[in-house]
Amino acid sequence: MAKNMLLMSTFLIAFVVTFANGNKPNIVFLLTDDQDVKLGGQTPMSKTKSLIGDKGIIFENMYVSAPLCCPSRSSILTGKYVHSNGAVNNSLAGNCSSPTWQQTQEVKAFPTYLKEQGYTTFFAGKYLNQYGTPNAGGVKHIPPGWDWWMGLVGNSKYYNYHLSVNGTLEVHKNDPKTDYLTDVINRRATSFLDLQNSDSGPFFMMLSTPACHGPFTPAPKYKNNFPNQTAPRDGSYNKHGYDKHWLIQQAITPLPNDTVTTEDNIFRNRWRTLLSVDDMMENVVNILQKKNILDNTYIVFSSDNGFHLGQFSMPSDKRQLYEFDVQVPLMIRGPNVSPGRLIKEQVMNIDLAPTFLDMAGLSSTPEQMDGLSLSQFFSASSNKTWGRSTILIEHQGEFHENTPGCPHFREQNMSNCNNHCVCEDSWNNTYSCVIRREPSISPSQPGRRIKYCLLKDNENFQEMYDLDGDQNEFKNLATTLPQNEKKDHETSQKKESRCVQNISEMALNNTSNGEVTVDNLLTYSSISGDATSCDEQFTRLKNYINKGCEPYRSQLQPLLYPLFVHLYLDQLCNGHKTPAHRFYSKHVKLFENEKTCTQTLESIHKLVTRTDVLGCLEATDFRENKFKIKLSEEALEYLLRHLKHEDNSTIYQIFNQQIKVENTESAENETKRKLDLSEGSGLVKEESLEIKEDPEHLEALSALQLSIRQVREGPPCLPSICFYTFINAYQGLCTVDISPDKTLLSAGFEDASIKIWSTTPSLLQSTPQSVDPCKLYIAADYWNVDLTEESKPRYTETVTLRAHSGSVYKTCFSSDSKYLLSASEDTTVRLWDMSTHSNRVCYKGHSAPVWDLDVGSVGGFFASCSQDRTAKLWVSDRIYPVRTFAGHNLDVDCVKFHPNCNYLATGSSDRSVRLWTLQDGKSVRLMHGHRGTIMSLAFSPNGNFLASAGEDKRIRVWDLSSGQLYKELKGHTDTVHSLSFSRDNNLLASGGLDCSIKVWDIRKGVASSSSHSDGISSPELLGSFSSKSAVVTYLNYSEYNVLRGAGSV
């Protein structure tokens, strides 16, 4: 204790500074961690509400730039959006307190400006998540602008943490009397305030508490408060987000009971941790009152992001786009702040830095800051118009495609995470949102607030909400749900089915229908003016246009001039003077021969600052008027294909805002019109038609024929691959199959269950039936039955089929996708109806587990193979086999129909492949050569070749006409489980336990692998694609050369 007192004394004596000017106000900023405002996060802080909110102003719509600690805190410090300050997530790689961020952004954070204004600055608590770590400068790094520094090393903790006290390491353990972090911050703040008085200079004090961030540890005196409090059961609690993006749809609904219990415990502990923060606020106010400096002190209270607990069935986290995650509290009291008011305007955390500087008397906000000062709200009589109608929220998912789990849940000691965890830190949980207040419909009826979000999903998913009419964000206006799909939607369905709409609803519907576009999201967002990005985007576009063919090149080249001017002016307006002039010098030569551009280019070259740009007539005209350009539809499509392919957001936004495109006739139509005008149109007499050979046309024809020949003889095009990954398949995934119409996906598991999913956005529909053969009915089942309800179809995301009593080793859809066959360890094959999702037939004939199935393309035939060393041929309308194929010495592991359905191939553990005729059941081909069990077979669509593979890691392609080996392909490092030929017979895809998909060129002209027998991979290998850690269970080429695959992690 004596040692701590000595350190505290040293900490205080070393930094006593006196300023002559005592008129400037003091500023106290208290920042909590993960405190929501929509789910009652402020409720336990009654003292703060009374001392700050009631004595000052409360902002009802305070938003963060990103719902994640480090990006949000970086925006608070710099006054910049996330895309401007560069801190995109909580890792060093994401610029969280990285050396780059420290050198470029931290040096311009608001404390440096306050220091220049004569303020003594004090910081205590959590700074940025990576602060103090070895790669972020260690504990010796003190961010510029701070006189008194007590920064937490790393992320929020309550006990067992390290502090950097003015660059010196201070270790704390778990003594509640001396180490509870919120209390430590409170004591240090008290010591600092004890030195302040009306004669000392102005000070800025920032207190950043760990509450109410995980691990949610309350102080001992509050650990039993709120014993019966539960997490809020608001309109979205424990409800499934059917119309929301992919990650929300992964949630389990309803939440498991252990999850509900855990969430309630977390909520209680979050409230308990905030009671210590409430005490801190009361203590600070009392000291300021005692010092007689309270009236000359601004006190600001806020948080870095919100939080959710069970909303849309999502376990506790904060990384989502919904109001409970992106809205935080904001209260301000101080001199000239008219008390007792609720501000409804939309403000952001980027506005805090400009507000602090405005409070300190800085005459203007630094140009690099995106935020606006909130001081115009301080006076009740102010009639200024708030300068922001649209706000931007951004989030970039952490980690990589190979998401390592849910570390934030492990931090919170949620032992049941593996059962129902949804990884909100997934790499593609990435989105941008704009919240925009629409124009007023009438003076008494303000326009509604519309939130529009674009998510980086597999299909660029969109979400849109009316924040005034749908406060729980339950209805995504950017999509339409199927009717009657859930009882939870009945109320909203009744409302939407009305034929009469009032003016407000009609305006909202028109707004939503007209504005749900990628273009509008870019239009409403902010151009960062990043010099490097501007130059890269312009250079890419310039090269793309100049390398294009006619007539696109000549039509698009005039577009470069207005884009060049706008990019140059935007960089100047964002304070990038030197990069802007470098950009100008690099690209201005493109327009040196354009006489109409000379005057404008010379005028803007003299500009240096934003003020110069606003005062230049040529620049103002350019920015306030749209540049007109004529493009054909084909040229416009050619341009947009490039703009949407890569990150060209800056140019895309300028194109939407500043360029007016007038459509012209296509090149083909224009040529035809000219020919009609010059030659006339109409019929020509047959005898007057003289055809002459045109040398130019003959040369062009020869070139075309050569190109066609080169394409045919060259390497085939690699396919696009669509891969379905099963995560957390704890039941043990055995098999996957996709229906021929590509709308259903089936999977068989070791727990004897079969699951069906829809691969389309629509839900699965189950048609009710009078009797389900999978159920045992008793008399009570027919009591009080609502026949109307029973007759309605049921809609669900997934269907589970149960009837087998052992592991399901194979599922296979019928050729019309109406039925599903399944093979099981219980020796049976079952037929399932996909309209009712019920079992129709049970086929018994094998005496051991059935390993594989295949369905014939005609005639209702299917084949099965078993551990009983036989394969059997079945007809769907008979419950007994019509053929038995016997000849293998060990298990028959795989079976496959020939495309003409006259032959059947089998692969066995006896390392042989046999080809059988269906007519008489005789073996007509026997193919040896494998060194292990054969696990997969595939016929080429033309029926000439058969591929086989298995445990020996090699693929053998057989010529069926001779029965001889055609090619041997090597390259896999583990067992091969799946094979598929492309529709043109040229490519073979393979996958297996080595978690990779390999594509082979099996055409006859390709060199045989025998010439490279000592190589690692055969020369036929065209490409290898890693499925990360997913075992490849299923592969199949579609008719459009798309390779579909599936497997489990």
Query: Is 69 labeled as catalytic in the residue annotation?
Result: yes
Q: Is 228 helix (H, G, I), strand (E, B) or coil?
A: coil
Beta strand ranges found along 77-161 (DSSP E): 120-126, 148-152
Residue 880: how many other CB atoms lie within 10 Å:
10
What are the residues whose beta carbons fall under 8 Å from the beta carbon of 912, sequence distance 6 or more? 888, 926, 927, 928, 930, 934
Distances (CA, A) of 736 to 733, 840, 843, 1025, 1048: 8, 21, 21, 19, 10
CA dihedral (863, 867, 870, 875) positive or negative: negative
Residue type, 126: K
883-886, strands of its sheet edge to edge: 850-855, 861-866, 870-875, 883-886
Give the separation between CA 977 and CA 735, rounded to whole angstroms.
10
Residue 292: how many other CB atoms lie within 10 Å:
10
Residue type, 523: T
DSSP collapsed to 3 states, 296-327:
HEEEEEEECCCCECCECCCCCECCCCCHHHHE
Q: Is 655 helix (H, G, I), strand (E, B) or coil?
A: helix
Residue type, 611: T
Cβ atoms of 180 and 158 closer than 8 Å: yes
Q: Is 578 helix (H, G, I), strand (E, B) or coil?
A: helix
| Chain mean position to CA 331 | 32
Please provide the DSSP assignment of 805-847 as one string. Answer: SS-EEEEEE-TTSSEEEEEETTSEEEEEETTTTEEEEEEE--S
Phi, psi of 593 (to 5 degrees): -95, 0
Tokens of 69: 């600690």
Cβ atoms of 610 and 531 closer than 8 Å: no
Phi, psi of 462 (to 5 degrees): -120, 145
DSSP collapsed to 3 states, 684-720:
CCHHHCCCCCCHHHHHHHHHHHHHHHHHHHCCCCCCE
Give the separation between CA 404 and CA 400, rounded to whole angstroms.
8
Cis peptide before 212 (omega within 30 of 0): yes
CA dihedral (375, 380, 381, 382) positive or negative: positive
Distances (CA, A) of 29 to 116, 208, 239, 494: 19, 8, 37, 48
Instruction: Choose the catalytic residue: 69, 406, 534, 894.
Output: 69
Give the separation between CA 54 and CA 813, rounded to whole angstroms.
66
| Chain mean position to CA 119 | 42
What are the residues whose beta carbons fall under 8 Å from the beta carbon of 413, sequence distance 6 or more? 215
- Smallest CA-to-CA distance from 296 within 381, 360, 379, 382 is with 360
Give the separation between CA 987 and CA 955, rounded to whole angstroms.
13
Residue 914: how many other CB atoms lie within 10 Å:
20
Distances (CA, A) of 650 to 434, 569, 951: 16, 13, 52
Catalytic site positions:
69
